[in-house]
């Protein structure tokens, strides 16, 4: 045990570099993915037929294909048509598009749980369609979708490790480098696993606090 702690202290600075990159991947991917997911969920629920079909096609592609394939296409495939992305850019774009597809499903479920009468009542009070969505429907739908959204954020933290396949050296990639240099693969990836566990635990705590903060007595209570 003492040997493992000493080894952890030795490799921690290098793993922390990977952790910093992982956070740089996760935070913007969560933010942009949530914004796009809400917009996509709204479009698929309230948009005209062609917008709904386009949204359904987007979701079918990014939910129906492995994230690994998506990252390969973005980083290795796009140069074939003259589009070049840096590893970090390809990873963030891939994570954002993939998580947005899943988030849109949670948000769409939240929208469909809100009675249409509330939307019509807001319009009767003088709200435009967009204003009714922004101020009446979305806040309620977001509360209902928040558990699913939080679950997807947890998934994103873990599959951010796939960024290493497009040469973006985040926590897992840094762990692979350290392990190949020290030949202590078990110990290194045990420590890397603890890093991810800490990230997920912290995210779970924050998400639960947000759920409690946004909770309304009698609204969706158990």
Give pLDDT tens digits along the chain (222 positions). Answer: 677 778 778 888 999 999 999 999 999 999 999 999 999 998 898 889 999 999 999 999 999 999 999 999 999 999 999 999 999 999 999 999 999 999 999 998 888 887 777 777 887 878 877 787 777 787 888 888 888 999 999 999 999 999 999 999 999 999 999 999 988 889 899 999 999 999 999 999 999 998 888 777 665 544
**Structure confidence at residue 19 (pLDDT):** 95
Residues 101, 106, 112, 114, Cα dihedral to 10°: -130
Residue written as token pair 């994570």 = 95
Entry field: residues in the chain: 222
What is the per-residue pLDDT for 32?
96
How confident is the model at residue 222, as a pLDDT? Answer: 45
Tell me how far apart the alpha carbons of residues 215 and 201 are, in angstroms, rounded to a whole number: 21
Q: What is the pLDDT of residue 220?
A: 54
Task: Give phi and psi for 133, each to the nearest 5.
Answer: -65, -45
pLDDT at residue 36, rounded to an integer: 95
> Which two structure tokens, joined as six digits, stand for 57?
């096609």
Class of domain 2-214: mainly alpha
Whole-model pTM: value is 0.88
Tokens 């030949």 sit at which residue?
183
CA angle 19, 24, 27 (to 5 degrees): 110
Enumerate the H helices of 114-137 as residue ranges. 116-124, 129-132
Q: Which residues of 134-170 are buried (b: 16+ CB within 10 A; e: fewer)?
A: eebbbebbbbbbbebbbebbeebbebbbbbbbbebbb
pLDDT of residue 219: 57
Predicted confidence at residue 114, as pLDDT, reads 79
How far, CA to CA in Å, does 29 sit from each of 48, 68, 166?
Answer: 28, 16, 16
What SS3 class is residue 202? helix
- Predicted pLDDT of residue 129: 73
């Amino acid at each position: 045990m003492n040997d493992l702690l000493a080894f952890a202290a030795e490799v921690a600075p290098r793993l922390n570099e990977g952790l910093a990159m992982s956070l740089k991947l996760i935070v913007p991917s969560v933010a942009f993915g949530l914004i796009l997911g809400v917009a996509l969920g709204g479009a698929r629920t309230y948009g005209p037929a062609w917008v709904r079909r386009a949204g359904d096609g987007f979701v079918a592609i990014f939910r129906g294909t492995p994230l690994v394939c998506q990252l390969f296409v973005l980083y290795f495939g796009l140069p074939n048509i003259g589009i070049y992305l840096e590893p970090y850019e390809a990873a963030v774009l891939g994570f954002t598009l993939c998580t947005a597809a899943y988030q849109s499903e949670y948000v769409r479920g939240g929208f469909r749980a809100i009675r249409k009468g509330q939307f019509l009542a807001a319009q009767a009070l003088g709200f435009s369609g967009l204003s009714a969505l922004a101020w009446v429907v979305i806040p309620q739908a977001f509360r209902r979708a928040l558990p699913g959204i939080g679950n997807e954020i947890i998934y994103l933290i873990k599959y951010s490790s796939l960024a290493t396949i497009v040469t973006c050296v985040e926590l897992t990639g840094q762990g692979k480098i350290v392990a190949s240099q020290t030949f202590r693969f078990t110990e290194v990836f045990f420590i890397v696993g603890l890093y991810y566990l800490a990230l997920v635990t912290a995210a779970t705590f924050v998400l639960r606090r947000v759920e409690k903060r946004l909770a309304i007595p009698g609204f969706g209570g158990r």
